[in-house]
């Protein structure tokens, strides 16, 4: 699926968007939403607190393995 996201600054009540050729002559859904300051940042960095919590994240789950591998 091809998607297009464009953040524009409005100066009037009109918006102009140039779409890629792959989207010509197709039915498109256009969603217009305000952008918060957080969303307008290109990168979101983790805080020191979040980085410290990474070492405490349980990455695996214990799954009981009762299979008899000797029959293989």
Dump pLDDT digits (tens) for 58-72.
666 666 777 777 877
In a domain, residue 46? The reply is yes
19: Cβ contacts below 8 Å, ≥ 6 apart: 4, 28
In a domain, residue 1? The reply is no
pTM to 2 decimal places: 0.40
Give the pLDDT confidence score for residue 37 in this predicted structure: 67
In a domain, residue 33? The reply is yes
Give the pLDDT confidence score for residue 46 in this predicted structure: 76
Dump pLDDT digits (tens) for 10-37.
888 888 888 888 888 988 888 888 877 6
In a domain, residue 2? The reply is no
Provide the token pair at 66: 């009762």
Count of structural domains within the chain: 1
In a domain, residue 70? The reply is no
Give the pLDDT confidence score for residue 51 in this predicted structure: 78
In a domain, residue 67? The reply is no
43 is in which domain, residue-wise? 7-59
The average pLDDT across 35-61 equals 70
In a domain, residue 39? The reply is yes
């Amino acid at each position: 699926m091809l998607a297009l996201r464009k953040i524009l600054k409005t100066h009037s009540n009109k918006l102009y968007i140039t779409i890629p050729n792959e989207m010509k002559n197709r039915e498109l859904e256009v969603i217009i939403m305000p952008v918060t300051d957080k969303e307008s940042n290109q990168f979101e960095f983790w805080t020191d607190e979040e980085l410290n919590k990474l070492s405490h994240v349980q990455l695996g789950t214990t799954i009981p393995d009762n299979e008899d591998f000797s029959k293989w």
